[in-house]
């Protein structure tokens, strides 16, 4: 069965069996059944317990098979050892969706992992979907039902939340009840044996009750599927992720620049950026954003008007706007004239509009209304400090009224204070106005509304360009390397593969004697470069394994011998295939283009300033392959070298199109050949516009 | 009188006159007197009002002179026009400290500014200190007294707070009452006509009731004094600043690299860094930090142990630690063995210590105690999520007990939840344990404790090195430029000044004809560089005003004429003094060293990667002059080029000492000559260790 259809049963079950239901307080099977009954689920509930009888006032069945009617969804809260047979029984019974709360699977080791495999087999065999195992359950506040052992049921709202940590969910649920934050769906992902984050993202995307998607994840099961699901959903609603595990260094063996420069968390960050997911660093700020999304229309731009009764907080807000990418709106001359006429002369009628410490509710009203009507304003932020003449509650009321009159622009309040703001806060919240203590969080929330509009618009359907190449030819070279029991390609092999993909490279030939080197040099044309050809030597220049600018046969001969001496001195046991003779590329702007491979997300392409100091300058950026033209172009322009390439201080611009083309070809290469685990072009020389690019040194490593 | 002695009277007055006291509710003179009485000030209060009689039950005097006894402190709340004569009267009466609440001074324009000057004169004449005008007043919770028109009096605590915005203070006061945050001093700075932030910083530093200093400022009156005061105080207690106005671009005309690269806020950030002030971006986070400082001893290092009942929050905390510069402690083998013996087998006994979802208070107790005893641990963070078997309140109690047993290590709690955490929160707060909702803010607070210890230790008394130079010689050159009505020094003049200060420069001579150019070239030795000498041309290379590597007299002649042609073509009206002939320095690593001048803080020195692309790479850092050796060394090493200069990938290290020396000499030069408004050395070439530095192109601009 289609997983999404399965999730429909999970979200809107017509009947639910609680397998492991119990009369005994403190048992999970009791908590789950009680939550289900108390949450108001008004279709059929079937407690299942080998002892039968009655549980919490409902007839209990000895087994699922014994239930006389169709069962849509099953919740399993029995010891792990009994789970598999019960799942099979559910399959036979025609249950469409299972929530396995029971722990003791993957998290306990090999045996549990095997059991999970069996679960997936059964899910597929019987066309069911399975959530969990080892999870808290699921809550839908719209049906409504609470099929979990949570303490309490969340308020109804528009946030769809899925979490890989059940314990974190319990904390957030408890906190949300106090903070009065509502949810549409509340899903504990558990071990993600069958259904995972990507399935729920897609389902949340289709769910009319959800307008905001929030995930807590520690990892994703399938990077590509995750990105696909997000790309599909984000044009309709925003996705925010809290992803932990930033600091757990990956155990990857990194020999390439690209590998060592990409931290373990880089691929996640890049994936989020590339598919439009916003990453939050902070739980509390995230819910601020959610509350603003819940209440407000999206702004049509980033221009904010600030209305205040005090200068200091106005400046703080202005600062926060600048940091967050928001603009302080330039008010129209009509607005300014109107404010001049209606505010005291000492007031500031420019933005921030300072109605002075004496500002009364009617002053606030006219400033806010004027701002909301102004075509130069996209959203309005109202600041209030509790001064001697301030009427907090009445001001809250006029804000609510203004919002009713002009509901299409975001209107957000910052009431700086505590005890005297308790009632005004209630007025604002009830009136649908997001309210904050301090400006920074309010500004952050507005900025996220705006950034979402930008992301949404940028996620238009874009295609991945493909180049016609002779893939077989590249495959043959790799096959030969494999036969030779090597993982690192020799220079001539790597350059040959790059050539197959249409990447302009410095020509290279392998010489096994100084005589041959001289012949090849003559063939390529002087000057030439000589480089040691050895799979054991990664940083050739560090040990004197490279000689450049050789102009004569004599120099070639001398260099050939010197390189071999150097290598023997530094790496006595290196396996030497000979010395590569390479045409000497005209010097251009030094770039690095590389690729490493992420376990979750696949090929991670790096671009940046090249040369020997790449590790120290770290002027680099990343994208996942395959890429669109926009991805490649952004990848280049995110770096400082990207700015230089555009041509500055009278310099001619570099051939950006050729660089983009090279990046896209590399993307295709590493997407075509999964066995390429690392690739570095360092340097590639970029020339003036129209004169292309040359890959000077190409390194490729294939997987074992 | 010494300002600090004056502030002593302000902080601990034996008698207070309220000048402008009023019986009428709603008047500021009524608010102030009522606050004073209600706050429990138990020395003499003298209401002063021309009508005399009795106000709020106290005998009122018609004037200050009429008061029969000595008056220590006066609070002035009368209309602005009457303030000056009353201040004079107070002076004559021998009042030691005045708080002028009255507005209508500098903030209303020229007339008010003049009145403030008069206030300062009177303060000096009568040896008084004056706080304000245009302020909210002052509160000392230890005397106690509230000499302000605030709504409410803050709780007693250890935070000394001074604010340039009165309205912001009212908001924070109101909020602090709800959040139960206490203050020792609460000072509204107002217009800072006489007493300013530096005076109060010094006073807070001496105040035994204050352990944490917090400022909100929009500007400082005197940058040097501010830094001096902070340097003096920070070894004893931390200073945190919220500085607004980041986004208000300065109106400075920037023609130098240094000027254009230093934003309007750079000098503030650098000054804070250089004198150990922590800058906070966010009000709420700031008070988190304050509460932790209030309750806890300082940690002896950055190693954190995490005790949790859930994996997810443990990982989030680990991430937050890494971001904040904290280390996850490596527990000792004794601790690990102890935990293994005492926790269930599924628990994680490594850090984060995961006592599992079933963890009971006694499990928490043993994990926390073991961590607090472990020598590898500097502070302990306890996480709790409300799971089925969790006992929130009892766990809170064991945390308090553990802290009592081991009070010397910071112990902080994160109880993730809302309603079910209300009571546990009270238990923790009463027990002196800082408590947070989510891990990020708790980690941030611990990190600030740790960073304070680092800052404090680094602020050891350090001296500013001085070089013996012939200052007169430099002064003469500048004097000649001034006589010539120029602001931009010619190349030969700038290089000469640099030479006076012992900075190694490429030798330079001015030629006014091609013949002279050839003679000078012969004198300097080939190859040479020719550069246009014109005060009107800033970026010489952009218009063909520089030719390098000239090897022969013929080349010099040709270049001389070509440069003049280029300049005429591009800047037809440029005033041309001739062409500089310069020795061609051996190429080294390209650096930029420069200086611009900040209105508040004086000379701002920049260091970074030089060359024509400096504006695009922006690999730069800043320090204020004069500088210590440590300042200069940190300035270099903060940049990426600094890393390269240390010698990487087998390259020999550059002459870091010579670079540091050059920076210190420039610091001295721009400190000696305030009229140097901008200075750029771009490039300076750095050579291998022992081979020094050469300043290739020195530009100096003097003030009008």
Q: Is residue A610 predicted with pLDDT exceeding 90?
A: no
Rounded to an integer, the average pLDDT of B267-285 is 88
Residues of A in contact with B438 (CB under 8 A): 282-284
CA gap A211, B606 in Å, rounded: 49
The CATH fold assigned to A589-702 is: D-amino Acid Aminotransferase; Chain A, domain 1 (3.30.470)
Rounded to an integer, the average pLDDT of B124-140 is 97
Write down the residue that tokens 């399935």 correspond to.
A199
Cβ-contact A64, A93 below 8 angstroms? yes
**Pairing status of strand B97-100 against strand B379-384:** unpaired
Kindly report the number of other CB atoms within 10 A of residue A370's CB atom: 26
Confidence class for position A309, pLDDT limits 50, 70, 90 = very high
Of residues B14, B294, B344, B68, the one with CA closest to residue B181? B294
Q: Is residue A421 predicted with pLDDT exceeding 60?
A: yes
In percent, the amount of chain A with pLDDT more than 70 equals: 97
Contact A244 B421 (CB under 8 A): no
Q: Considering chain A, what is the average pLDDT of its residues?
A: 92
Q: Is residue A252 predicted with pLDDT exceeding 60?
A: no
- Tens digits of residue pLDDT in A169-228: 999 999 899 888 899 999 999 999 999 999 999 999 999 999 999 999 988 999 999 999
The helix (H) or strand (E) run that includes residue B483 is helix B471-483
Architecture of domain A507-583: 2-Layer Sandwich (3.30)
Cβ-contact A290, A159 below 8 angstroms? yes
Whether omega for the bond prior to residue B331 falls within 30 degrees of 0, making it cis, is: no
Cβ-contact B19, B147 below 8 angstroms? no
- pLDDT of A247: 56
| Phi and psi, residue A40, nearest 5° | 90, 20
| Phi and psi, residue A201, nearest 5° | -60, -45
B297-458 maps to which CATH number?
A: 3.40.50.261
Which one of A418, A424, A546 would you mutate to disrupt binding with B, by most B Cβ within 10 Å of its Cβ? A418
CA gap A640, B614 in Å, rounded: 11
CA distances (Å), origin A418, targets A120, B152, B158, B280, B557: 53, 12, 20, 21, 78
Rg of chain A over all Cα atoms, to the nearest angstrom: 32
Contact B385 A218 (CB under 8 A): no
**Pairing status of strand A137-140 against strand B58-59:** unpaired
- pLDDT of B246: 64
**Complex ipTM above 0.85?**
no
- pLDDT of B541: 82
Partnered with residue A604 across adjacent β-strands are A596, A624
- For chain A, the domains span 3-244, 295-458, 507-583, 589-702
Sign of the torsion angle spanned by Cα atoms B103, B107, B113, B119: positive
The DSSP symbol for B489 reads: P
CA gap A412, A297 in Å, rounded: 12
Write down the residue that tokens 């008069």 correspond to.
B118
CA gap B127, B110 in Å, rounded: 26
**Pairing status of strand A155-163 against strand B54-55:** unpaired
Q: How far is B125 from chain A (nearest CA, A)?
A: 33
Residues of B in contact with A385 (CB under 8 A): 167-168, 170-171
Between A5 and A535, the higher pLDDT residue: A5
In percent, the amount of chain B with pLDDT more than 70 equals: 97
Q: Is residue A1 predicted with pLDDT exceeding 70?
A: no
Residues of B in contact with A316 (CB under 8 A): 168, 242, 244, 283
Tell me which residues of chain B, numbers 551 to 610, contact chain A at a CB-CB cutoff of 8 Å: none
Interface contact A24, partner B, CB < 8 A: no
Cβ-contact B517, B580 below 8 angstroms? no
Rg of chain B over all Cα atoms, to the nearest angstrom: 32
Kindly report the number of other CB atoms within 10 A of residue B225's CB atom: 16
* b/e sequence B52-65, b meaning 16+ C-beta within 10 Å: eeebbebebbeebe
CA gap B259, B236 in Å, rounded: 35
- pLDDT of A253: 34
- Tens digits of residue pLDDT in A442-473: 999 999 999 999 998 888 767 889 999 999 99
- Tens digits of residue pLDDT in B310-348: 988 898 899 899 889 999 999 999 999 999 999 998 899
Cα B306-B308-B312 angle, rounded to 5 deg: 100
- pLDDT of B648: 79
Contact pairs from chain A to chain B, CB under 8 Å: 224
Confidence class for position A666, pLDDT limits 50, 70, 90 = very high
Among A8-17, A336-345, A535-544, the minimum mean pLDDT is found in A535-544
- Tens digits of residue pLDDT in B505-552: 999 999 999 999 999 999 999 999 999 998 888 778 888 899 999 999
Tell me which residues of chain B, numbers 44 to 103, contact chain A at a CB-CB cutoff of 8 Å: none
Q: By CA distance, what is A284's nearest residue in B?
A: B438
Of residues B180, B136, B188, B132, the one with CA closest to residue B160? B188
- pLDDT of B527: 94
Rounded to an integer, the average pLDDT of B103-110 is 88
Q: Considering chain B, what is the average pLDDT of its residues?
A: 92
Cβ-contact B82, B119 below 8 angstroms? no
CA gap A133, A391 in Å, rounded: 54
Q: Which of B167, B319, B644 sits opposite A385 (nearest CB)?
A: B167
Cβ-contact A517, A511 below 8 angstroms? yes
- Tens digits of residue pLDDT in B590-629: 999 999 998 889 999 999 998 766 777 788 999 999 999 9
Among A367-376, B239-248, B363-372, B643-652, the minimum mean pLDDT is found in B239-248
Cβ-contact B141, B155 below 8 angstroms? yes
The DSSP code sequence of A54-101 is EETTEE-BSSTTT-SS---EEEE-S-GGGHHHHHHHHHHHT--EEEE-
Residues of B in contact with A650 (CB under 8 A): 542
What's the first-to-final CA gap in chain A, in angstroms? 37
Confidence class for position B262, pLDDT limits 50, 70, 90 = low
CA gap B500, A329 in Å, rounded: 51
- Tens digits of residue pLDDT in A369-380: 999 999 999 999
Interface contact A420, partner B, CB < 8 A: yes
- pLDDT of B252: 33
Interface contact B542, partner A, CB < 8 A: yes
Residues of B in contact with A642 (CB under 8 A): none
Strands (E), B521-640: 528-533, 546-550, 578-583, 589-598, 602-609, 620-624
| Phi and psi, residue B433, nearest 5° | -105, 120
- Tens digits of residue pLDDT in B430-459: 999 999 988 998 999 999 999 999 998 888
- pLDDT of B378: 98
Cβ-contact B494, B698 below 8 angstroms? yes
CA gap B244, A383 in Å, rounded: 16
Same CATH fold assignment for domains A3-244 and A295-458? yes
- pLDDT of B261: 54
Contact B419 A31 (CB under 8 A): no
Q: Is residue B234 predicted with pLDDT exceeding 90?
A: yes
Q: Is residue B63 predicted with pLDDT exceeding 50?
A: yes
Half-sphere exposure of A202 (CA within 13 A, CB side): 16
Write down the residue that tokens 């903070």 correspond to.
A179
CA gap A417, A248 in Å, rounded: 40
Q: Which of A177, A357, A619 sits opposite B419 (nearest CB)?
A: A177
Rounded to an integer, the average pLDDT of B380-408 is 95
A3-244 maps to which CATH number?
A: 3.40.50.720
- pLDDT of B272: 95
The CATH fold assigned to A295-458 is: Rossmann fold (3.40.50)
Q: Is residue B362 predicted with pLDDT exceeding 50?
A: yes
Rounded to an integer, the average pLDDT of B561-579 is 92
Cβ-contact A678, A255 below 8 angstroms? yes
- Tens digits of residue pLDDT in A543-594: 899 999 999 999 999 999 999 999 999 999 989 999 999 999 999 999 999 9
- pLDDT of A263: 55
Interface contact B228, partner A, CB < 8 A: no
Q: How far is A323 from chain B (nearest CA, A)?
A: 8
Q: By CA distance, what is B441's nearest residue in A?
A: A282
Contact B385 A170 (CB under 8 A): yes
- pLDDT of A289: 87
- Tens digits of residue pLDDT in B575-590: 999 999 999 999 999 9
The DSSP code sequence of B200-269 is HHHHHHH-TT-SEEEEEES--S-HHHHHHHHHHHTTTS-EEEEE--TTS-------SHHHHHS-TTHHHH
Tell me which residues of chain A, numbers 95 to 114, contact chain B at a CB-CB cutoff of 8 Å: 108
Rounded to an integer, the average pLDDT of B274-298 is 85
Rounded to an integer, the average pLDDT of B562-567 is 93
Residues of A in contact with B248 (CB under 8 A): 315, 318
Half-sphere exposure of B10 (CA within 13 A, CB side): 30
Tell me which residues of chain B, numbers 242 to 301, contact chain A at a CB-CB cutoff of 8 Å: 242, 244-248, 281-284
CA gap A231, A272 in Å, rounded: 10
Half-sphere exposure of B605 (CA within 13 A, CB side): 27
Interface contact B417, partner A, CB < 8 A: yes
Q: B290 is written with which tokens?
A: 């304050």
Q: What top-level class would CATH report for the domain B485-583?
A: alpha beta
This prediction's pTM: 0.87
Q: A91 is written with which tokens?
A: 């399959």
Conformational region of residue B683, where left means phi above 0, alpha means psi within -120 to 50, and beta covers everything else: beta
- Tens digits of residue pLDDT in A136-151: 999 999 999 999 999 8
Confidence class for position A248, pLDDT limits 50, 70, 90 = very low
Tell me which residues of chain A, numbers 317 to 336, contact chain B at a CB-CB cutoff of 8 Å: 318-319, 321-323, 328
């Amino acid at each position: 069965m289609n997983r999404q259809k399965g999730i429909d049963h999970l979200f809107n079950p017509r009947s639910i069996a609680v397998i492991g239901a119990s009369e005994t307080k403190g048992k999970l099977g009791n908590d789950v059944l009680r939550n289900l009954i108390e949450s108001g689920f008004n279709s059929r509930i079937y407690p299942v317990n080998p002892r039968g009888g009655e549980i919490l006032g409902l007839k209990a069945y000895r087994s699922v098979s014994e239930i006389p009617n169709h069962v849509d969804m099953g919740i399993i809260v029995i010891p792990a050892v009994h789970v598999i047979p019960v799942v099979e029984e559910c399959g036979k019974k025609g249950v469409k969706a299972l929530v396995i709360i029971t722990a003791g699977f993957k998290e306990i080791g090999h045996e549990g992992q095997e059991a999970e495999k069996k679960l997936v087999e059964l899910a597929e065999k019987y066309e069911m979907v399975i959530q969990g195992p080892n999870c808290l359950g699921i809550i839908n506040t719209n049906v409504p039902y609470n099929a979990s052992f949570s303490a309490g049921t969340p308020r109804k709202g528009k946030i769809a939340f899925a979490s890989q940590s059940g314990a974190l969910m319990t904390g957030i649920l408890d906190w949300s009840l106090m903070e009065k934050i509502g949810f549409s769906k509340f899903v504990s992902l558990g071990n993600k044996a069958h259904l995972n984050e990507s399935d729920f993202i897609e389902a949340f995307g289709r769910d009319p009750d959800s307008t905001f998607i929030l995930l807590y994840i520690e990892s994703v099961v399938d990077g590509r599927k995750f990105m696909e699901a997000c790309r599909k959903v984000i044009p309709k609603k925003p996705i925010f992720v809290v992803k932990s595990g930033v600091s757990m260094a990956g155990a990857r063996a990194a020999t390439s620049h690209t590998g060592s420069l990409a931290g373990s968390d880089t691929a996640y960050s890049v994936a989020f950026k590339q598919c439009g997911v916003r990453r939050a660093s902070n739980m509390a700020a995230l819910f601020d954003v959610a509350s603003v999304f819940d209440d407000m229309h999206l702004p049509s731009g980033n221009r904010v008007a600030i209305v205040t009764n005090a200068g200091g907080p106005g400046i703080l807000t202005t600062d926060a706007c600048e940091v967050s990418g928001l603009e302080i709106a330039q008010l129209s001359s009509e607005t300014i004239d109107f404010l001049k006429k209606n505010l005291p002369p000492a007031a500031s009628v420019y933005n921030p509009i300072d109605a002075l410490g004496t500002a009364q509710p009617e002053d606030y009203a006219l400033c806010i209304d004027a701002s909301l009507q102004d075509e130069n304003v996209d959203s309005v932020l109202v600041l209030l400090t509790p001064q001697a003449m301030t009427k907090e509650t009445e001001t809250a009321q006029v804000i609510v009224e203004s919002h009713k009159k002009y509901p299409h622009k975001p209107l957000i309040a910052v009431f700086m204070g505590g005890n005297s703001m308790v009632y005004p806060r209630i007025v604002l919240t009830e009136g649908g106005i997001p309210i904050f203590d301090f400006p920074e969080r309010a500004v952050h929330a507005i900025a996220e509304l705006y950034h979402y509009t930008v992301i949404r618009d940028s996620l238009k359907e874009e295609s991945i360009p493909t180049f016609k190449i002779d893939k077989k030819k590249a495959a043959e070279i790799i096959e030969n390397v494999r036969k030779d029991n090597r993982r690192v390609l020799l220079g001539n092999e790597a350059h040959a593969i790059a050539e197959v993909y249409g990447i302009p490279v410095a020509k290279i030939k392998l010489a096994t004697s100084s005589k041959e080197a001289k012949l090849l040099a003559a063939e390529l044309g002087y000057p030439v470069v000589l480089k040691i050809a050895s799979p054991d030597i990664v940083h050739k220049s560090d040990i004197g394994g490279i000689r450049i600018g050789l102009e004569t046969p004599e120099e070639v001969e001398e260099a050939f011998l010197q390189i071999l001496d150097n290598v023997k001195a530094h790496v006595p046991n290196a396996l030497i295939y000979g010395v590569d003779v390479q045409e000497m590329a005209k010097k251009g702007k030094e770039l690095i283009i590389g690729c490493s491979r992420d376990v979750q997300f696949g090929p991670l392409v790096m671009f940046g300033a090249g040369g020997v100091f790449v590790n120290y300058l770290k002027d680099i950026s990343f994208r996942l392959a395959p890429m669109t033209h926009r991805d490649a172009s952004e990848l280049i322009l995110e770096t400082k070298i990207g700015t230089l390439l555009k041509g500055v201080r009278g310099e001619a611009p570099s051939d950006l199109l050729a660089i983009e083309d090279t990046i896209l070809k590399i993307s295709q290469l590493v997407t075509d050949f999964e066995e390429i685990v690392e690739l570095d072009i360092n340097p590639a020389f970029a020339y003036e516009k129209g004169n292309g690019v040359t890959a000077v040194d190409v390194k490729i490593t294939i997987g074992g």
